[in-house]
Amino acid sequence: MNRARGEATREETLVRAALDGDARAYDQIYSQHAQRLYRTCHALLGNGADAEEAVQEVFVRAFRKLDSFNFRSQLSTWLHGIAVRICLNLRRGRRRRERLDAAVAQCPPRARRDTSPDEQAQASELARRFHQALGQLPEKKRIPFLLFHAEGFDLAKTAAITSASVQTTHARIQSAREVLLAAALEGTEP
């Protein structure tokens, strides 16, 4: 019982020192918890790069909100709670990006397998121009276009998600469509 209270006292002293602006205290908190958080994040995310990104985000959020740590649990418990929420959000975001990438990849028509090499090359070039133009669209047009066409949201839901009116959203989707069509058709014979 004494040892647990001693741990809590050292932890509380360390957190209070960090809150008072002691950079060494922040470094010590990081060094005490980073490796274990990395293992947890790696287990949840499945790769090192995402785990490193998640651990960094854990400490950014934790240090910004350190004053809200209430000492009712151990600091490691609090940090791991943050880590789990970040990892779940990253996984949701990854799945969303994968669905968007797959849907966007299907936007320009693909050449059938039984087409000639020239037709396949033409389809590949069309897809390349489409993706390049999509990447150059301003976000205010690209996001509604992808939500509407790739994610399949209706116009009202797309407008709500992008915090724009239905009319503005429709105009942005139409404008994006015209830019993408023009880019895809650029250089082709009529």
Check residues 62 and 118 and name the one with the higher pLDDT: 62
Tell me which long-range contacts 167-171 makes (C-beta under 8 A, separation of at least 24). Answer: 169/144
* pLDDT tens-digit map of 27-61: 999 999 999 999 999 988 888 889 999 999 999 99
Neighbours of 150 (CB within 10 A): 18
Produce one character per residue of 101-122: b if its CB has 16 or more CB atoms within 10 Å, e if not: eeebeebbeebeeeeeeeeeee
Dmax (CA) for the chain in angstroms is: 84
Distance CA 115, CA 43 (A): 44
Distance CA 44, CA 63 (A): 22
SS3 content of the chain, % helix, strand, coil (to 5): 80, 0, 20
Distance CA 186, CA 190 (A): 10
Look up the pTM and report it.
0.52
* pLDDT tens-digit map of 151-188: 777 888 888 888 889 999 999 999 998 888 787 666 54
What is the pLDDT, as a whole number, of residue 13?
93
* pLDDT tens-digit map of 88-139: 888 877 776 666 556 555 555 554 566 677 777 777 777 777 778 888 888 8
Tokens 């990006």, located at residue: 97
What is the pLDDT, as a whole number, of residue 2?
47
What is the pLDDT, as a whole number, of residue 24?
96
What is the pLDDT, as a whole number, of residue 35?
94
Distance CA 183, CA 101 (A): 19
